[in-house]
Structure 1
Amino acid sequence: MKSTIQIVFFVLYFSFTMNSIHVLSGSSKSKSFSYILSCGASGSDGTDADGRKWSPDIKFLASSGNSETATAQFQDPSLPSTVPYMNVRIFRSTSSYKFSVSPKTRLWLRLHFYPSNYNNLDPSMAYFSVIANGFTLLKNFSASITAKALTLAYIAREFSLTPVESGDLNVTITPSTEQSGSYAFINGIEVIPMPDIFKKPAVLVEYSDQFVDVQSSSLQTMFRINIGGQSIAPNNDSGLTRTWYDDSPYLFGAAIGVTSEVGKNVRIQYSKDVTEDIAPLNVYSTARTMGPDPKVNKNYNLTWVFQVDANFTYVVRLHFCEYQVTKINQRVFDVFVNNQTAESGADVIGWAGSQGIPVYKDYAAYVTDQSGDDEIWVALHPTVSMKPEYYDAILNGLEVFKVNDTDANLAGPNPVPSEMLVNAEAAEKEFSPSASRVGPLLGGVAGGLTGCVLVVAVFVFVNKKNNVGKDCKMGNWLPLYGNSHTSTSKSTISGKSNTDSHLSSLAAGLCRHFSLWEIKHGTKNFDESQVIGLGGFGKVYRGTIDGGTNVAIKRSNPSSEQGVYEFQTEIEMLSKLRHRHLVSLIGFCEEDGEMILVYYYMANGTLREHLYKSNKHPLSWKQRLEICIGAARGLHYLHTGARYTIIHRDVKTTNILLDENWVAKVSDFGLSKTGPNLNQGHVSTMVKGSFGYLDPEYFRRQQLTEKSDVYSFGVVLFEVLCARPALNANLPKEQASLADWAGHCQRKGTLHEIIDPHLRGKINPECLKKFADTAEKCVSNHGIDRPSMGDVLWNLEFSLQLEKNPGMVVAAEKKANKA
């Protein structure tokens, strides 16, 4: 059953270096001209978080119509920088930009939109079209609807336009005539010459004798993915400023294979057919394969799923580079695109001639809406008939391009917000009937989000593989490394000037600064009726900002010395991390001795309050599983997906928060530590954490590793299953510690006797066994015996599949064992 994937695009700005790899050949560089424009800006050039300079757009306006400039009234915290998103040019009638370009040169055209409140205009009234040299790129486009439906704060669309014959590129923007009072706006435009990367026609899958002439077509970049590796920022893309994203949000199913990177003894060597213009070195230096077990591999497909617009042809470009095997017929596999065989018996060594040589293949497929599908599936499976040495498959990179139709059109429809999102918005309006909901809406839209941009229109996530059939389709958010420059007005603490602030200037510039007046106004002067929680740092208040956006405001206890450390760590960690399953920090206040943190409000509170000592309706087993999976994704990202390994150090059910859609978000990073480097294996540090969840090995040796988080999470798993505290001094000594008692019952086969009564008889036995085995391994006394968080995540996802489809999954396991 295909999962429904929402499209999302997010931007990661961080460097990914591979010092052990040697480049043996160069590539052609972009030609001299390029235009990077901040629309509506005035004066000198502005610089974005990636160090790129953006110039004002005024001198490129061929016909400005009735245009005006403005500055956004609300700065979403997920913006990577104010440039180009805080300035805008607004059009009331048809207007055009004109660029002088080299004739017969293919172009990247990137359009940036931040649907915010400008000059009191309602962003939901902005509907418009964009045409470039006769190609319709956007039609009746609503950036507001797109942002809301895809939970984006800002979006970007990237197009590859056919070579211009005249030497001029004209980009025309027209407010829609279909909606009364429509206007158009744009925040940024990039026009960049691109090399000829579409030299060959793409084979049309299912019709091997038919081809799609990509070279003479205009395209929209839909997805650009670095398989098995981290995202690659524009400044690491050979001068072409493309962004390559992590592939994990698009993987389908519980079996997601394994990732790897090239070893020191292998050199990646470009060839005359494949240069760095095709893809940067880092794409070919990482890969995802199916894993070491041939029995398992023969019984599943390694699959990625992408949501697209129906009734268009798409070109799927797959990038390959073998750096593990050296001979023909060692690894041979089939490639499927939308369940059609695109390539039978793919052998990368056979294509390339030797190890370490990149190759790519283009396949085309037409997506129709007749079947109700608007997805592209890419799947790999070992070619069993060839009897290769290894039953395995490999992929290094993937791109999906939409091809213009016969009407020179690339425009798709505006996405439709999910029913749950519409209901949540309606409930929010009913709860807080503010006159202007624009700021709150965008704040909420960006709340679970994290810095997202898109080099592509609508990019994706949500509920990918494991959330099949859920109403709430959200995605895994990745980190944002860059500055969201907001006001850093004077702040004081303990009567000191801001030069004595507890925050470095870098940390202070990474997120929004609130005045103490704003905080007091939003909390009714810290009224006790607004208190929603109390922790070691201090009280947590429910409040509002920007005219109605609900937030959680954590105010430090002035007598807490530890609060200073937590305040620094929380800001410096969370301002750099953006992930769907990590709580989103909006900003901070540091005035008059106050240390205050502002987060997006989590409507359903903590996980613990839904488990015990509460009059709330108990969660179903499926809900609990999905919450555990979400939290595991957040922790797995901290351990492996961020720029540095991050150990949370205080994983517990009160630090797992639930938003209005029951999406789990890991919170409270005040005790977090940057993890060990490759030469250490652990961090020597004072023991901190919460009793009942504390890793006994860490407690004994004061050596912290990511396996300490795994232990704590194992306690959380038992807490979710048994609905009792991690420590209960009122119970007999042997039962006081949940980790010890549940582990003992699991080993004796009596765990079913202590699980939550609300769950007894309602859990599939195979699912319960897998879940309990995972929890037991997590709380092993020695870290070396515990699984990684990635393994924990895989096991939980598999548990969910067992719960949903017990017969199918068990049958597949038996079949694999027989093989």
Structure 2
Amino acid sequence: MKNSVATQSFPKLVSLFASLLLLFHLVLAADYVPTEKILLNCGEKSDLSDNDNRKWTPDVGSKFLTGTEKSVTSPASSQDPAVPEVPYMTARVFHSNFTYSFPVVSGRKFVRLYFYANSYDGQNATNALFSVTSGSYTLLKNFSAAQTSEALNYAFVIKEYSINVDGDHLNLTFSPSSTPSNAYAFVNGIEVLSMPDLYSNSDGVPIVGQQVPLTIDNATALENVYRLNVGGSDISPSGDTGLFRSWYDDQPYLFGAAFGVSAAADPNVTIDYGTMATYTAPVNVYTSARSMGPNAPINDNYNLTWLFSIDSGFSYLVRLHFCEFTDNITKINQRVFNIFINNQTAELGFDVIAAAEQVDVPVYRDYVVVVPGSNSQQDLWLALHPNETDKPQYYDAILNGVEIFKINDLNNNLAGPNPIPGPKQDIVDPSLALPSHSGRTKNQTAIIAGGVSGGVILLLVIGFCVVGAARRRRRGKDSSTSDGPSGWLPLSLYGNSHSAGSAKTNTTGSYASSLPSNLCRHFSFAEIKAATKNFDEALVLGVGGFGKVYKGEIDGGTTKVAIKRGNPLSEQGVHEFQTEIEMLSKLRHRHLVSLIGYCEENCEMILVYDYMAYGTLREHLYKTQKPPLPWKQRLEICIGAARGLHYLHTGAKHTIIHRDVKTTNILLDEKWVAKVSDFGLSKTGPTLDHTHVSTVVKGSFGYLDPEYFRRQQLTDKSDVYSFGVVLFEILCARPALNPTLPKEQVSLAEWAA
């Protein structure tokens, strides 16, 4: 009888177990739904929604304000076009200690503080100097939003913390610094969000270079300092997993000459989180990655490296996200690599497939690194290198995402020093100046002086290596007749262009129907006329083979643009105009000029680009009244342009060869960020089974790769050669060709090499 009852109960137990298992997986598969979500728009009187359609409540009359402390509300005196309205256009200003008190249930919370350095209540932005505490934790100390924004080139600042709350209230206290006497505190927005226990580890996280792990528990407070979608693009808070985290592109943090290769998963790939909660990181993090590339001999000689500026005197939690999603990596010991943090071994022989046990399954690894020192900033190095000991099938490494958190010290402090602004050039357009800009300091001058000798040596080494390597490279044996995007004669956005290549016959007629309708913005001719004040000659920035380029304003004068208007008598035709739109509208990168839109009404051929406040790089090198560029800034410009070219060669869906790399095609925005421009001669590169593209030679004399000119076989190395000439031009401050010099000095490349 007992056996009969047991037999009857068994199916029920199996069914119950299966239901619980299904429920467990459903819980894991769901995005996190916070039980507490407070978005407080400080200084505001009404409900507003931000760019992610999140609703912010006003703090005027809010229950979160304590009744006895004094404060004032104020709108920002101005708005940078890059700054969203919510929550940055109003602030609450404090001239004495002030506390916000949020009723919450106990548990861990995300706390995000939003700051926009501006003038509030008639106060100077540089006088905003204050500290922020929460319970026993010091989050900020003598914090200057103005100095931080200037030093890091941030339009606004977001500080994110993970804090455990033991009681029923989360208090945030803002305290103006004691000096200067007119110091004040302010805040634009406060976000409080309940969160899962995502980063704690009671068993301890291994400390790099030490034997004893570090426990991260309820007594630990964290500050997020970096969160990157490696190999992918930015992910906004609405694209996160319910935790409203922002993930950023990793390109600005790559270090060294080799940037690796970015990759994206096939759209049909489904990420299986397995036993890992899906809110750990969004799918987009695990379907993009950066690897070293397929060339084993090259990979064996370098590390794939990222560099992060951090505060010394703290320990840091480094979380690395991994997922193998490619068809050729499906088994153990195919891709095995070592992980190094701050020149110490974090892990040897890491194999993503071995850790995840199958393909398309993400995993992460946590490490703690101790950074000694006090009250200064250092660099944290993260490097990957193939593990030769295990003899893997591929000598390669891969990374999908990075999160770096500062851990509170023994005094429960998370606050570091304000970053020091670097050297700046005089602002050409006063409207572009930061509110706190006050000229060059003695410390900044010392930085420039110290960097001159190193900058000269580095540019010399890079220039000789690039040109020399381009001359010595192996010649390909295969050829391809793939056309790719055909070229036009290049037009520098801000100057003349003298190029080699045959002209094309211009055609006229109706072509609106063949232009892409979903790639970028379409402007009416009336909008273009309004933007350029009916093509006012006073707004002409440059003239080239395609026509004139005008400075313009769109969207009610809030956005400055460069408008390139085709000349009806130009040698460049409709096909090239369409190709430019189709190519540039698909490319988005920090170091590439962005195409905003086009106009083709009335048989016009008009392109609208981002406005580059400082014009071309060449304008700042020679034959100019402008002040010379500091060497440190020249190096930053070189690195930026190199990253733009590297993205064209490896980061886009198909390799793109620019074919006209020169100093007039490197533009500088209002923050001196270098951007590669003018893709009129660009071509799609060879496929994997070919080494080059056979094509008619086009480009600019003085920059042309001799082997490309002689053999008419185009590879990405042709761009590398041209970039080497650019480096010499930056170093020597002379044109690539100067016919007035003795014969042996006419060509900069030949003379320098």
Short-chain TM bin: 0.5 to 0.7
- Matched position secondary structure for 1:124: helix
Q: Quote how far apart the aligned CAs of 1:154 are.
A: 0.7
8 Å Cα contact 1:587/1:598 also seen in 2: no
2:665·2:678 contact (CA, 8 Å) conserved in 1? yes
Match of 1:412 in 2: 416
Please name the residue that 2:66 is paired with.
Answer: 63
Query: Mind listing any 5+ residue stretches in structure 1 that lack a counterpart?
Result: 1-21, 446-462, 472-502, 544-548, 589-593, 679-688, 696-706, 732-751, 764-819
Q: CA RMSD in A?
A: 5.6
User: After superposition, where does 1:433-444 map in structure 2 within 5 Å?
Assistant: 440-442=432-434
Shift of 1:596: 10
Partner of 2:394: 390
Partner of 1:352: 356
Letter in 1 for 2:187: I
Question: Which residue is equivalent to 2:209?
Answer: 206
Q: Once structures 1 and 2 are overlaid, which stretch shifts more, 34-43 or 150-159?
A: 34-43
Which range moves more in the overlay, 339-348 or 656-665?
656-665
Tell me which amino acid in the other structure corresponds to 1:355. Answer: V
1:129 aligned residue: 131
Change (3 A) 1:398 1:614: closer
Tell me which amino acid in the other structure corresponds to 2:415: A
Cα 1:76–1:242 change in 2 (3 A) is same
- The match for 1:170 is 171
Contact persistence 1:220–1:401 (CA under 8 A): yes
CA distance in 2 between counterparts of 1:214 and 1:667 reads 50
Q: Flag the 1:644–1:132 CA change in 2: closer, same or farther, 3 A.
A: farther
Whichever residue aligns with residue 162 of structure 2, its letter is S
The structural deviation recorded for 1:197 is 0.8
* Distance of aligned partners of 1:160 and 1:709 in 2 relative to their CA distance in 1, 3 Å threshold: same
CA distance in 2, matches of 1:151, 1:213: 33
Normalising by structure 2, report the TM-score.
0.66
Residue 259 (structure 1) shift = 2.8
Alpha-carbon displacement from aligned partner over 1:25-66 (angstroms, at most 9, x marks no partner): 514623332011221122232332x22222212314422633
**Shift in alpha-carbon separation, 1:203–1:616, aligned structure 2, 3 A:** closer
2:667 matched to which residue of 1? 657
Q: CA separation in 2, counterparts of 1:345 and 1:369?
A: 31
What's the CA shift string for 1:397-417, capped at 9, x where partnerless? 211110111111111111111
Seen in structure 2, the aligned counterparts of structure 1 residues 246 and 158 have a Cα distance that, compared at 3 Å, is same
Query: How do 1:325-336 and structure 2 match up within 5 A?
Result: 325-336=329-340
Amino acid at match of 1:180: S
- Please give the alpha-carbon distance, in whole angstroms, between the structure 1 residues aligned to 2:750 and 2:654: 41
> C-alpha distance in 1, partners of 2:748/2:73?
59
Contact 1:23-1:269 within 8 A present in 2 as well: no
Distance in 2 of aligned mates of 1:210 and 1:390: 32
Alpha-carbon distance in structure 2 between the residues aligned to 1:36 and 1:468: 50
Residue identity matched to 2:434: L
Choose which of 267, 270, 273 in structure 2 pairs with 1:270: 273
CA distance in 1, matches of 2:292, 2:27: 29
Equivalent pair of 2:226/2:403 in contact (CA under 8 Å): yes
Pair 1:106 & 2:117 matched: no
Aligned to 2:91: 88
Identical counterparts, % of pairs: 43
Contact 2:595 2:610 in 1 (8 A): yes
d(CA) in 1 for partners of 2:596 and 2:522?
Answer: 12
- Pair 308,691 (structure 1): closer, same or farther in 2 beyond 3 Å: closer
Q: Answer whether contact 1:226 1:245 (CA < 8 A) is retained.
A: yes
Alpha-carbon distance in structure 2 between the residues aligned to 1:374 and 1:185:
28
CA distance in 2, matches of 1:316, 1:169: 27
Cα distance change on mapping 1:243 and 1:756 into 2, 3 Å = farther
Q: Verify the 8 A CA contact 2:318 2:404 in the aligned structure 1.
A: yes
Within 2, Cα distance between the matches of 1:759 and 1:694?
A: 8
Q: 1:370 to 1:116 in 2, by over 3 A?
A: closer
Q: Summarize the Cα distance change of 1:367–1:599 in structure 2 as closer, same or farther, 3 Å threshold.
A: same
Contact kept, 8 Å, 1:333 with 1:381, in 2: the verdict is: yes
Q: Distance in 2 between matches of 1:266 and 1:24?
A: 22
Give per-residue Cα distances to partners, 1:646-677, cap 9 Å, x unaligned. Answer: 999997653433579975334579x899999x
- Report which structure shows greater RCO (CA 8 Å, sep ≥6): 1
Query: Contact 1:657–1:665 (CA<8 Å) still a contact in 2?
Result: yes
Report the 3-state secondary structure (helix = DSSP H, G, I; strand = E; otherwise coil) of the residue aligned with 1:270: coil
- The residue number in structure 2 matching 1:747 is none
CA distance in 1, matches of 2:421, 2:99: 31
Q: Which whole-Å deviations, capped at 9, do the CAs of 1:212-231 have from their partners, x for residues lacking one?
A: 32553110001111222222
1:581 to 576, 588, 591: 591
Structure 1 CA distance for aligned equivalents of residues 40 and 112 of structure 2: 10
Partner of 1:492: none
Q: 3-state DSSP class of the match of 2:206?
A: strand
What is the alpha-carbon distance in structure 1 between the residues aligned to residue 210 and residue 149 of structure 2? 37
Structure 2 residue identity aligned to 1:307? S
- CA offsets per residue over residues 376-426 of structure 1, 9 Å max, x none? 2122223322333333322222111101111111111111112x23xx3xx
Task: Name the SS for the 1:249 alignment partner.
Answer: helix
Alpha carbons of 1:239 and 1:717: their partners in 2 closer, same or farther (altered >3 Å)? same
Superposition deviation, residue 312 in structure 1: 0.5
Who wins on radius of gyration, i.e. which is larger? Answer: 2
Question: Cα gap change, 1:572/1:620 in structure 2, threshold over 3 Å: closer, same or farther?
Answer: same
The separation in 2 between residues aligned to 1:754 and 1:333, in whole angstroms, is 49
With over 3 angstroms needed to count, the CA separation of the structure-2 counterparts of 1:621 and 1:711, relative to structure 1, is farther
Give the Cα–Cα distance (whole angstroms) in 2 for the partners of residues 582 and 78 of structure 1. 18
**Counterpart in 2 of 1:42?**
45
- Summarize the alignment of residues 17-416 of structure 1 with structure 2, pairs less than 5 Å apart: 26-27=29-30, 29-48=32-51, 50-58=52-60, 59-63=62-66, 65-79=69-83, 81-103=84-106, 105-162=107-164, 164-200=165-201, 201-263=204-266, 267-272=270-275, 274-323=276-325, 324-369=328-373, 374-416=378-420
For 1:90, give the aligned amino acid: V
Distance in 2 between the 1:558 and 1:385 partners? 59
Distance 1:717 1:303 in 2: 23
Alignment match of 1:602 (pick from 614, 621, 634): 614
AA at the equivalent of 1:379: A
**What is the alpha-carbon distance in structure 1 between the residues aligned to residue 172 and residue 304 of structure 2?**
41
CA shift, 1:207, in A, is: 1.5
Task: Map residues 613-624 of structure 1 onto 2, 5 A cutoff.
Answer: none
The C-alpha deviation readout for 1:341-392, integer Å capped at 9, x for no partner, is 2212222233222223222121111101279761221222233223333333
Q: What is the rounded CA distance, in whole Å, between the counterparts of 2:265 and 2:596 in structure 1?
A: 38
Which stretch of structure 1 is more off in the superposition, 361-370 or 121-130?
A: 361-370
| Length-normalised TM-score, structure 1 | 0.62
Task: Kindly provide the CA deviation profile for residues 583-626 of structure 1, in whole angstroms up to 9, marking residues without a partner as x.
Answer: 699999xxxxx9999945317x4527847x87999999999897
Please tell me whether the aligned partners of residues 118 and 435 of structure 2 are also in contact (alpha carbons under 8 angstroms).
Answer: no
Kept in 1: contact 2:660–2:700 (CA 8 A): no
Q: Distance in 1 between matches of 2:532 and 2:94?
A: 36
- Are residues 641 and 369 of structure 1, via their aligned partners in 2, closer, same or farther at CA, if it must alter by over 3 Å? same
User: Is the 2:736–2:748 contact (alpha carbons within 8 Å) kept by the matching residues of 1?
Assistant: no
CA distance in 1, matches of 2:396, 2:552: 52
CA distance in 2, matches of 1:441, 1:94: 31
In the alignment, is the contact (CA less than 8 A) between 1:531 and 1:542 conserved in 2?
A: no
Evaluate the alpha carbon distance shift between residue 88 and residue 691 of structure 1 in structure 2; reply closer, same or farther with a 3 A threshold: same
* CA drift at 1:308: 0.6
The number of residues matched between the two structures is: 615
In 1, are the aligned partners of 2:223 and 2:414 still within 8 Å (CA)? yes
- Structure 1 residues 693, 514: CA separation in 2 closer, same or farther (over 3 Å shift)? same
SS of the aligned residue for 2:644 comes to helix
Gaps in structure 2 of 5+ consecutive residues: 1-24, 438-447, 457-516, 599-605, 688-697, 705-713
